[in-house]
A = this chain, B = another copy of it.
Amino acid sequence: MGKTDYHALMPAASNPLSETLHCDSCPVQDSAACSRLDAPQRQQLEMMGRGHIYQPGDIIFHAGDDNRQCATLISGLLKIVDCDSNGVERIITLIHPAGFVGELFAPLNRYDIVALNIARICLFPRADYEKMLNESPELTQGLLRRALQSVEDNQKFLALVNRRTAQEKVAGLLLALAESSGSAPCQPNPHVELCMTREEIAALLGITMETVSRQIGKLESAKLIKRAGAQHIDIIDHDGLQGLVE
């Protein structure tokens, strides 16, 4: 990842792209952890946090850093990355809008959190956020729903990668991305934006970049999908893809 991580390296307070929050116009105001707050509480959160914009490749939280912030993803896509000693990248999971990142009650960040897309997040000082959790049952309940959703997402992802062939993994990923970018879960978006290099897809699915490429090629020959540039794929036969993953 040769991308600049310029913004991430600056202290949040002096980040030139930091801006005040405007929850009223927030696209995830109904689904994020803060969705159950009443007006005064929401205002309190607004004062507590700052909005930030990250570019693809920017590192939002560094593994090993002491963990003083947490955040809600407003738009874009993040990856949680486990980088081992040899520099082999292992993507633990993806974070979609409304997702919450930053571990509470833990001293250090265990993983890198990196933007795949242009990502808008609201960033909170962790201490303030935890304090507010103690005062606001609504925030706690909202975050609980988020956390349960994360558990579910992780379990689905485990089912996608464990004990599956390369073809099943690639097909399953395309379907998952189509669903997550669709207007509703039952209305998947046939135009899939990967937001990832082949290498990143490989790190996510636990296979190699060459295999990813070959499998995408096979799916295209089988007329299930169509490539439209490296990062974009059109799903032609959704049911056919679904059939590959059962």
Decide if A236 is an interface residue (CB 8 Å cutoff).
Answer: no
- Inter-subunit contact A90/B162 (CB<8 Å): yes
A105 to B163 alpha-carbon distance, docked (Å)? 29
The proximity string for A residues 199-212 relative to B, scoring 1 for CB distances below 8 Å and 0 otherwise, is: 00001001000000
- Inter-subunit contact A151/B150 (CB<8 Å): yes
- Inter-subunit contact B148/A105 (CB<8 Å): yes
Decide if A111 is an interface residue (CB 8 Å cutoff).
Answer: yes
The smallest C-beta distance from A140 to any residue of chain B, in angstroms, reads 5
A151 touches which one: B141, B154, B203 (CB < 8 A)? B154
The residue in chain B whose Cβ has the minimal distance to the Cβ of A163 is B206
The residue in chain B whose Cβ has the minimal distance to the Cβ of A91 is B162
- The total of chain A residues at the interface (CB under 8 A) is 40
Contact A145 to B111, CB < 8 A, known contacts A159-B90, A203-B163: no
User: Which residues on the B side are within 8 Å of A159 (C-beta)?
Assistant: 82, 90, 92
The residue in chain B whose Cβ has the minimal distance to the Cβ of A147 is B147
For this complex, 6 residue pairs linking A to B, each with C-beta atoms less than 8 Å apart, are: A91-B162, A92-B158, A92-B162, A104-B148, A151-B151, A161-B161
The proximity string for A residues 103-122 relative to B, scoring 1 for CB distances below 8 Å and 0 otherwise, is: 11100001100000000000
A residues lining the B interface (CB < 8 Å): 80, 82, 84-86, 88, 90-93, 103-105, 110-111, 133-134, 137, 140-141, 143-145, 147-148, 150-152, 154-155, 157-159, 161-164, 203, 206, 246
- Inter-subunit contact B103/A148 (CB<8 Å): yes
User: Which residues on the B side are within 8 Å of A164 (C-beta)?
Assistant: 206
- Inter-subunit contact B80/A155 (CB<8 Å): yes
Which residue, of A104, A158, A246, has the highest number of chain B Cβ atoms within 10 A? A158
A234 to B33 alpha-carbon distance, docked (Å)? 44
Contact A162 to B85, CB < 8 A, known contacts A148-B104, A148-B105, A150-B151: no
User: Which residues on the B side are within 8 Å of A133 (C-beta)?
Assistant: 141, 144
Which residue, of A84, A141, A143, A148, has the highest number of chain B Cβ atoms within 10 A? A148
A109 to B104 alpha-carbon distance, docked (Å)? 28
A203 to B159 alpha-carbon distance, docked (Å)? 11
User: Which residues on the B side are within 8 Å of A92 (C-beta)?
Assistant: 155, 158-159, 162
User: Which residues on the B side are within 8 Å of A84 (C-beta)?
Assistant: 246
- Inter-subunit contact B144/A140 (CB<8 Å): yes
